[in-house]
Structure 1
Amino acid sequence: MHFPASNPRFHPLVLAIAVSAASVSLPAWAVQPFVLKDIRIEGLQRTEAGTVFASLPFRVGDTYNDDKGSAALRALFATGLFKDVRLEVTGQVVVVVVEERAIIANVDFTGTKEFDRETLIKALKDIGIGEGQPFDKGLADRAEQELKRQYLTRSLYGAEVVTTITPVERNRVNVTFAVTEGGVARINEIRITGNQAFSENTLLTELDLTAGGLMTWYTKSDRYSRAKLNADLETLRAWYLNRGYLEFVVESTQVAISPDKQNISITINIREGQRYTVTAVRLSGDYLGKDDEFKSLVTIQPGEPYRAEAVTNTQKAFTDRFGLFGFAFARVEAVPQIDRNTGRVQVQLNADPARRVYVRRINVSGNSRTRDEVIRRELRQFESAWYDGARIKLSRDRIDRLGYFSEVDIETTEVPGTFDQVDLTVSVKEKPTGSLLLGASFSSADKLAFNASVKQENVFGSGNYLGIEFNTSKSARSLVVSTVDPYFTDDGVSRAIDVFYRTTKPLNSQGEDYQLVTPGAAIRFGVPFSELDTVFVGIGIERTTIKGANALPENFFRQRALFGDSSTSVPLTLGWQRDGRDSALVPNDGRYQRLNLEWGIGGDTRYLRSNYQYQQYFPLSKRFTLGLNGEFGIGRGLGGRAYPIYKNFYGGGLGTVRAFDQNSLGPVDVTGAYIGGNRRLNLNAELYVPFPGTGNDRTLRIFGYTDAGNVWREGESMADTEANPIRVSAGVGLSWVSPVGPLKLSWGVPLRYARTDRIQRFQFQIGTAF
């Protein structure tokens, strides 16, 4: 069969074969170039014709040739929409014949208990398996392997996944992943070999992975994963390096799984090497003529065993100090010079500050909702200023503390074509900042309480807060509407407005027919005096009414006699706080201080009420924490007027002195009511230890405590240990960061008490404080 080279018209079948071959390798049949008069598309069912035309490298009027045909086939296959593509040439017309891939109509799972269905659907959609996407057998196989890998991370080594593809009408398919999860493979043994200086049990306590035990159902520390093992190996390495063993190495690890894939044993083979003692620390390189200043930052102590943590901290302190002077790319290298014969080491710190740079521009990215100004006003590093590492870190921390973002990162990039300029990019990942809460809580004091709230931490991306809260219990009810503008002024002064309605019935009189009703409003301003200190100033107005007349306590009668059923107060508030704890939920280190002053300057009452709290946490070890808390409050009437009873302090129960009934400490009137007082003292000490079997988990801990404190009324002496002595109690408890909030349970005994005290040995509450 012969086709003359001058004839551009081929038989359609032969042309299709020729063009297809051209798409694979060198053309078997050549098409003489010709000018296109038309392009037709055949075989489309769902795909828009425009999608095909957009992928073609030629248009009507262009010259068509073999290279353009091959490029068209590659481009169309690359869209992933077509199972097969052919080009047919008829005269001066190119016909694109396509066979579309099936579309995934539905993705489903059976037998999945370990993972949430929506989580799996989202994970598979990220790799191309999802409703409405073209079906690809290769992607389905990849999805199956990904599912198996996810189950391996949960120690489900016996998990099996079978993929079923079911065709449905209109060239669609249903994809079903049938999962047989099997049982969880658990670690039944961890061995460490090669250790000489430290016992195996000592080393095992440093690992987060553990063999099965009493509480591993909660901690899940007996579930193996490679990532967890690698983290434990790094922990082990750091533990040795911090004790002078510079040449410590993990020689090998063996992970063996039983034939039924239910039990795992781990063997870690180590070589300790010898222990080295630091004899000297030397500085070399360029320290900007501030050698003495840098020497003061050295935490490596000659005469002590080599500590890698001290070396790392010193390097970081050096690079941070270089950053203060604008040297963004400073390098500090620690070179240990060891003498194996004597077991000594000299540490040489080589510094190269590189070059000083300016920050040319600061970019913000990732904030699709939050306004740029909300982020930029937290920055302490400015454009066109020297690069300052401390200010950049502070800026990142301040943005993170806003609570609007799940991720905050600041990247430094050099400006092309310059040697002394960098750009900073603040990258954030936004998270939902609104919440609708409907819930209930239970405590030994208040019994069942309901609460509801609607909160928006970042209204319209402005950084302002708006919230409505409703709480109710047997002793107290409240409705509060609050709004906060954290940058009421450009200097960072915040403004908060509260409108509230509260009813209070003292806990010791829950069966009586009286209560205090207090509607009111307040406005306060927060003035930042430093990065850590904030002073609050505010003013409000309250109107308190005594409702009911049956069995009124004596001080309620006096209040009525002095001020009538209702009294108005205009309190001026002044407060200060500093929170340096490492965690608000499970603190292990740091200090917290709070001082509040309330001055009744107007209305029917004149009084001054103050309260100071101090907390300190001491990390005794990696697992043991000592917490101390002290709180003192005092109030008094001014201008010859009595101190209002509804400003009294109360004591007893969680948050004050445990093992005593809530609010049962202090003065008792002739009716037997606990009336509180104008002074209160609380002293608390807690020693936290891990719950047996939880390893290094800090969300579940037990504690021993000792509490002391009391409440005194006007005229009583705090030093009079006979009339109203300080109460003392001691006991044990459980602290758990539960899914519904921090839970604290305690059981104790009173060590020093009076006959009028109400004893309550067991107490608990969700959401309690110290």
Structure 2
Amino acid sequence: MYALVAAAFASISLAAQAFNPITVQDIRVEGLQRTDPGTVFNYLTVKVGDKFDEAQASEAIRALFATGFFDDVRIEVDKNVIVITVEERPTVAQINVNGAKLLEKDQVKAAFKGQNLAEGRIFQQEVLDAAVNELKQQYYARGRYSVDVKATVTKLDRNRVGVQVDISEGDVAKIKSINFVGNKVYSQDDLISQMSLTTPTWMTWYTKTDQYSKPKFGADLEAIKSLYLDNGYLNFAIESTQVALSEDKADVFLTINLREGDLYHTGDISFAGNFDLPEAELKALVAAEPGEVFSRDTINKTTAAISDRLGKEGHAFPNVNAVPTIDEAKKTVAFTFFVDPGKKTSVRRINIYGNNLTKDEVLRREVRQMESAEYNLADIKRTKERLQQLDFFSEVNIDTPVVPESSDLVDMNINVVEKKTGNLNFGVGYGQGEGALFQASVSQANFLGTGKRFSAEVNTSQASKVLAFGMNNPYATPDGVSFGWTAYLRDTDPGVMDLGQYQTQSKGIGFNFGMPTTEYNSIGLGINAEIMDFKVSELSPDYVLDYIKEYGESAAIYSLNANWATDSRDSAVFPTKGFLFKTSAELGVPPSDINYYKLNLQSQYFYSLPTKKPFTFMWNMEIGYGGSYGGSNEYPFYKNFYAGGVNSVRGYKSGSLGPIDNTDNSMGGSTRFVNNFEVFAPVPGMKDDKSMRLSAFYDAGNVWGYDQDINFGSIQHSVGVGFTWISPIGPLKLIYAHPINPSATAKTESIQFQIGQLF
């Protein structure tokens, strides 16, 4: 375009003043306001003393127009002097954006800057048009097809312009229908279930999955492709897609044309290449079996497993390729895995970047790959896991670039992005049995960048009020022995929960030590001292009054604690697989008023059921047992176990199972058993939302007193359904339960809930 305009101007100028070739004595530039004269001279091929003719003049005009700096360029000759007259294009003085809500104003300006439109730059109308179009594309990608963008240019003084961008974002286009053409193997519902996008449902006001998004649609197409390729349809293809809009651009109609192809089975599997591992060991890593339905996923898993295994042997860059051989007559596909392990590699140096606050040693003590040691992929992956578990960083990335001129050496670069680790939280909640509560807490998980954790908490409810402080150092010694302390004040009123009309006030301090025994197991030891005062009345139960009569209105409690745990769950919030086992012991020691012991065991198992929907089975079992020793003839009532409520046996009032006192209130006991079977499922219409889920459960459990025999025939049972939601105001549980065999003294509740920090 510039060349054509330049040529036009050149022909006009030269026609108006034709000249014979001259020897240039001087070059003069007129009309410049901002542009440096040197910029003009840089684009000229002629210098003082050179010959200059009409062809060179035309070329010079073209070159100056091509810079984009000028609206007009004229070249004239005055004797032997070249006179270049230019008219500069205006600069953008300001860009104002109005009406942007979905995108921040800075995002809009950044999009314009990417198209070379920004304050201080040369204004060009074609650049503005391209920037407006790019902005529309960003809205289209978010489903805003009715967006209207108007750009107004206003001339200002000193050859400047202002750009006013007015945006009417419009409404998000909703998906009216999703149609598949060519599908026979899977139904419409089967295919739609693979997609994150949906037509409007009763929950799409929250999930927004009925709002069309081009990136999400692309991901859904890949999910459908995976469904076919993972179930034998090797030649499956999505031949075309249509995204149609209604006239008002408010509704979207999706049509997906498929070619399913034939069903293929897996043929023979062989290996080729030069590898150190026995072929039998490689075969053990193969996820596919000859004769089974072909699955791309199992082939990819096999390739990854072989690469990982070679990585454990020091091969940083193995090359594993699965080459198919298709037999169209038998409809089978055989695979040959070509394995090239590459050279064995060592790690020269470990470099850490991005830890501006966190001290270097805090990261290095989590690193499992050693410098100057053989490359080990398992150690590198575990390093990343441990760094992520610190919860100090929003991102942890590890790469292993080759050391220049050393093909058998790599560096291990750890790049982290720190996040804020200090929290100041305020919360309110409500729990049946606990009543209303207010909570405030301040914590710093990475105190002064040392990896130590400090916390202070205020928690109040009708049943319990707590003020607590604590500090924990996970690496009190270089070997990973942790040390921590807690100090607290606690007031409780069991009467609020129908657990006896009395109150306690306690203050205590505790110290704990911990040590990992393996990557997933740990043990801990602790010592605690607590002074507890009792407030009673004539309505207090006999067992409390009898205790006070014998031991007084104050109890001194000194205890030793030990625990061991192993945890392989894939998530601490909503696990789908893995195992958790915890056991702990508490021992009251002299000079405590009563020598007692208290044992706890918890086992949880999670398993993802092999169903189309992501169902998870959970089995939870808890056992608690307490007693006395050293001549003591009773177990202290303030160490009793309780059962019943949202977090144990649902359908029964919190803490209500087991023996009752002379005032018909629950009193807990020294032995506790709880067993839960539960199946979790996503909420219909919520697709892949991770914040909420439904469940169906069967619970069983009871509590027995210190002087009672354990009778499993007295176990209370219940069944029901539950809803869990990590809501913006805190975690929420809603339960509907049916007690199966409530005892005569049991207190039942069909509907139970908790919201807030009680979860």
Normalised TM-score (structure 1): 0.84
Partner of 1:618: 607
Contact 2:24 2:47 (C-alpha < 8 Å) held by counterparts: no
Moved more, 757-766 or 150-159: 150-159
Q: Aligned equivalents of 1:83 and 1:364: distance in 2?
A: 52
Task: State the SS of the aligned residue for 2:587.
Answer: strand
SS at match of 1:603: coil
Deviation at 1:428, TM superposition (A): 0.9
8 Å contact from structure 1 (residues 494, 525) kept in 2: yes
For residues 599 and 90 of structure 2, what CA distance do their matches in structure 1 show? 77
* 1:110 maps to which of 94, 99, 115: 99
Rounded Cα–Cα distance in structure 2 between residues aligned with 1:461 and 1:176: 46
Amino acid at match of 1:599: L
Using a 3 Å threshold, how does the CA distance of structure 1 residues 676 and 755 change in structure 2: closer, same or farther? same
What is the identity, as a one-letter code, of the residue corresponding to 1:613?
Q
Structure 2 equivalent of residue 184 of structure 1: 172
Residue equivalent to 1:90: none
Contact 1:585 1:737 in 2 (8 A): no
In the other structure, the counterpart of 2:639 is 647
The alpha carbon displacement at 1:681 in A equals: 1.0
Q: Where in structure 2 are the equivalents of 1:331-410 lying within 5 Å?
A: 331-410=319-398
2:679 to 678, 687, 705: 687
Question: Which amino acid in 2 is paired with 1:646?
Answer: Y
Q: 1:629 aligns with which of 620, 623, 626?
A: 620
1:150: how far off? 4.0
Deviation at 1:655, TM superposition (A): 0.5
Q: How does 1:122-271 map to 2 (within 5 A)?
A: 124=109, 128=113, 134=120, 144-145=132-133, 147-163=135-151, 177-271=165-259
- Does 2:697 align with 1:712? no
Q: What code does the residue aligned with 2:599 have?
A: S
Does 2:507 match 1:519? yes
Amino acid of the structure 1 residue aligned with 2:299: V
19, 44, 55: which is aligned to 1:26? 44
CA 1:111–1:672: 2 relative to 1, 3 Å: same
Moved more, 759-768 or 211-220: 759-768
| Bigger mean CA deviation after superposition, 19-28 or 616-625 | 19-28
Structure 2 residue runs of 5 or longer lacking an equivalent are 1-18, 51-59, 73-87
Partner Cα separation in structure 2 for residue 677 and residue 169 of structure 1: 87
- 1:608-634 deviations in whole A, cap 9, x for unaligned? 111111112221223222222111111
- The 2-side partners of 1:718 and 1:123 are apart by 70
- Determine if contact 2:641/2:669 at 8 Å carries over to the other structure: yes
CA contact (8 A) 2:395 2:418 kept: yes
Residue 754 of structure 2 is matched in structure 1 by 765
1:401 and 1:385 map into 2 onto residues whose CA distance is: 24
Cα offset, 1:154, TM superposition = 3.1
Q: Distance in 2 between matches of 1:746 and 1:682?
A: 17
Residue of structure 2 equivalent to 1:57 = none
Q: Which runs of 5+ in 1 are unaligned?
A: 33-69, 85-97
Residues in 1 aligned to 2:734 and 2:585: alpha-carbon distance in whole angstroms: 31
Superposed displacement of residue 30, structure 1: 3.6
* RMSD between aligned residues: 3.5
Summarize deviations over 1:152-207 as a string: whole Å, max 9, x none. 34322112233567899999998765332222211111112222222222222122
Q: Secondary structure at the match of 2:654?
A: coil
Of 676, 685, 691, the match for 1:699 = 691
Q: Which one-letter code corresponds to 1:121 in the other structure?
A: D
Q: Which whole-Å CA distance do the structure 1 matches of 2:320 and 2:627 have between them?
A: 59
Please say if residues 429 and 436 of structure 2, whose CA atoms lie closer than 8 Å, have aligned partners that are also in contact. Answer: yes
* 1:443–1:764 contact (8 Å) kept in structure 2: yes
Change (3 A) 1:598 1:163: farther
Corresponding position of 1:318? 306
Matching residue's letter, 2:472: V
Q: Does 1:306 align with 2:294?
A: yes
Mapping for residues 467-482 of structure 1, pairs under 5 Å: 467-482=455-470
Distance 1:23 1:431, change over 3 A: farther
Q: What SS does structure 2 have at the residue aligned with 1:300?
A: coil
Residue identity in the other structure for 1:566: S
* Aligned partner (choices 408, 433, 452) of residue 445 of structure 1: 433
Shift of 1:603: 2.6
User: Higher mean Cα deviation, 629-638 or 196-205?
Assistant: 196-205
- Deviation by residue 1:429-478 (Cα, 9 ceiling, x = unmatched): 11111111112112233232100011111112111111111100000111
User: How far did residue 718 of structure 1 move?
Assistant: 2.1
The CA distance in 2 between the partners of 1:570 and 1:169, in whole Å, is 83
| Offset, 1:482 | 1.2
Inter-partner Cα distance in structure 1 for 2:92 and 2:176: 47
In structure 1, C-alpha distance between the alignment counterparts of 2:495 and 2:603, rounded to whole Å: 27
CA 1:257–1:13: 2 relative to 1, 3 Å:
closer
- How far off is 1:413 after superposition? 0.7
Structure 1 residue 764, shift from structure 2 partner: 0.8
Q: CA deviation at 1:425?
A: 0.9
Which of these residues, 424, 435, 445, is aligned with residue 412 of structure 2?
424
Contact 1:285 1:352 in 2 (8 A): yes
533, 556, 569: which one pairs with 1:581? 569
C-alpha distance in 2 between matches for 1:257 and 1:509: 59
Deviation at 1:226, TM superposition (A): 1.7
One-letter amino acid of the structure 2 residue matched with residue 731 of structure 1:
G
> How far is 1:356 from its partner?
0.8
| Cα deviation, residue 111, structure 1 | 6.0
Confirm whether residue 756 of structure 1 aligns to residue 741 of structure 2.
no
Distance in 1, Cα, partners of 2:332 & 2:700: 51
Specify the alignment match of 2:274 in structure 1: 286
In 2, distance between residues paired with 1:167 and 1:443? 65
C-alpha deviation, 1:19, in angstroms: 3.7
Which sits farther off after the overlay, 231-240 or 194-203? 194-203
Shift of the 148–481 alpha-carbon distance from structure 1 to 2, 3 Å rule, reads farther
Any residues of structure 2 matched to 1:4-15 within 5 Å, and which? 13=30
Match of 1:484 among 450, 468, 472: 472
Aligned to 2:106: 121
Question: Offset of 1:420 from its aligned partner?
Answer: 0.8
Cross-structure match for 1:733: 722
Q: Residues of 1 paired with 2:108 and 2:361: CA distance? A: 34
- Structure 2 equivalent of residue 47 of structure 1: none
Secondary structure of the 1:717 match is coil
Q: Given residue 605 of structure 2, which amino acid in structure 1 is its aligned partner?
A: Q
Structure 1, 13-22 or 358-367: larger mean CA deviation? 13-22
Query: Aligned equivalents of 1:520 and 1:133: distance in 2?
Result: 63
What is the alpha-carbon distance in structure 2 between the residues aligned to residue 697 and residue 619 of structure 1?
17
After TM superposition, the structure 1 = structure 2 runs for residues 557-576 of structure 1, keeping only pairs within 5 Å, are: 557-576=545-564
1:341–1:370 CA distance, 2 compared to 1 (3 A): same
What amino acid does structure 2 have at the position aligned with 1:748? A
In structure 1, the partner of 2:84 is none
Contact 2:29 2:37 in 1 (8 A): no
2:683 partner amino acid: F
Partners of 1:268 and 1:416 in 2: how far apart? 49
Which of 645, 653, 662 is the matching residue for 1:661? 653
Distance apart, 1:28 and its partner CA: 5.7
CA contact (8 A) 2:265 2:333 kept: yes
- Measured in 2, the distance between the counterparts of 1:6 and 1:150 equals 53
Secondary structure of 2:406's aligned partner: coil
